[in-house]
Amino acid sequence: MRLTDRYIIRQLLAPLFYCLIIFIFLYIIIDLFGHLDEILKQKVTFDIVLKYYIYFIPIIFVQTAPIAILVSTIYVLGNLNRYNEITAMKAGGMSIWVIIRPFLALGLLLSMVVFIINERFVPSASITTKTIKEERMEKRFDASSKKLIDNVAIYGANNQMIYARFYEPSKKTLINPIVMINDGEKNLTTKIIADEGKWIDQSWIFYHCAIYNFDKNNQIVGEPQLFNEKVVSIEEKPDDFLRYEVRAEFMNYEQLKKYIKKLYGAGSKITNKLLVDLNYKLSFPIISLIIVLVGIPFAITTKRGGALLGVAVSIAISLVYYGMIAVCIALGKAGFLPPIISSWSSNIIFASLGLYLISKLR
Least Cα distance to 64 among 114, 123, 119, 116 occurs for 114
**pLDDT score of 16:** 96
For residue 331, name the pLDDT band (cuts at 50, 70, 90): very high
**pLDDT score of 305:** 56
CA–CA gap between residue 20 and residue 92 (Å, rounded): 34
**pLDDT score of 30:** 95
The arithmetic mean of pLDDT across residues 223-227, rounded, is: 92
Per-residue pLDDT tens for 243-263? 666 678 889 999 899 888 777
17 and 122 fall within a common domain? yes
Q: How many domains does the chain have?
A: 2
156 and 45 fall within a common domain? no
Classify residue 40: in a domain, yes or no: yes
Check residues 314 and 215 and name the one with the higher pLDDT: 215
185 and 245 fall within a common domain? yes
Classify residue 171: in a domain, yes or no: yes
Tally of CB atoms within 10 A around 347: 21
**pLDDT score of 361:** 81
CA–CA gap between residue 345 and residue 329 (Å, rounded): 10
For residue 270, name the pLDDT band (cuts at 50, 70, 90): low
Length of the chain equals 362
For residue 197, name the pLDDT band (cuts at 50, 70, 90): very high
351 and 301 fall within a common domain? yes
Classify residue 137: in a domain, yes or no: no
**Does residue 84 carry a pLDDT above 90?**
no
**pLDDT score of 120:** 95
Alpha helices in the chain (DSSP H): 3-34, 36-41, 46-82, 85-91, 96-120, 122-132, 253-262, 268-283, 287-301, 306-333, 339-359
66 and 177 fall within a common domain? no
Of 225, 243, 267, at which residue does a domain stop? Answer: 267
**pLDDT score of 115:** 98
**Does residue 224 carry a pLDDT above 80?**
yes
For residue 73, name the pLDDT band (cuts at 50, 70, 90): very high
Check residues 280 and 156 and name the one with the higher pLDDT: 280
218 and 317 fall within a common domain? no
Query: Alpha-carbon Rg of the chain, whole angstroms?
Result: 26
Check residues 140 and 352 and name the one with the higher pLDDT: 352
For residue 117, name the pLDDT band (cuts at 50, 70, 90): very high
Classify residue 136: in a domain, yes or no: no
The arithmetic mean of pLDDT across residues 102-111, rounded, is: 96
**pLDDT score of 139:** 63
- Taking the CA atoms of 58, 60, 62 and 67 in sequence, report the sign of the dihedral they define: negative
Of 267, 294, 323, at which residue does a domain stop? Answer: 267
**pLDDT score of 1:** 62
For residue 176, name the pLDDT band (cuts at 50, 70, 90): very high
- Residue 316 half-sphere exposure, CB side, CA atoms within 13 Å? 11
228 and 148 fall within a common domain? yes
Classify residue 86: in a domain, yes or no: yes
13 and 74 fall within a common domain? yes
Of 220, 238, 267, at which residue does a domain stop? Answer: 267
**pLDDT score of 47:** 93
**pLDDT score of 140:** 55
**pLDDT score of 307:** 58
The arithmetic mean of pLDDT across residues 55-70, rounded, is: 96
Classify residue 57: in a domain, yes or no: yes
The structure's pTM equals 0.80
Per-residue pLDDT tens for 38-48? 888 888 899 99
**pLDDT score of 310:** 66
For residue 87, name the pLDDT band (cuts at 50, 70, 90): confident
CA 212, 214, 215 angle in degrees (round to 5)? 160
The arithmetic mean of pLDDT across residues 308-312, rounded, is: 71
CA–CA gap between residue 155 and residue 236 (Å, rounded): 10
Average pLDDT, the chain: 88
Per-residue pLDDT tens for 1-34? 678 889 999 999 999 999 999 999 999 999 999 9
Residue numbers of the domain that contains 226: 143-267
User: What is the edge-to-edge ordering of all strands in the sheet holding 149-156?
Assistant: 149-156, 160-168, 173-182, 188-200, 203-214, 220-232
263 and 211 fall within a common domain? yes
**pLDDT score of 242:** 72
The arithmetic mean of pLDDT across residues 139-160, rounded, is: 70
115 and 203 fall within a common domain? no
348 and 303 fall within a common domain? yes
Classify residue 191: in a domain, yes or no: yes
Classify residue 101: in a domain, yes or no: yes
User: What percent of the chain clears pLDDT 90, i.e. is strictly above it?
Assistant: 51
For residue 188, name the pLDDT band (cuts at 50, 70, 90): confident
70 and 27 fall within a common domain? yes
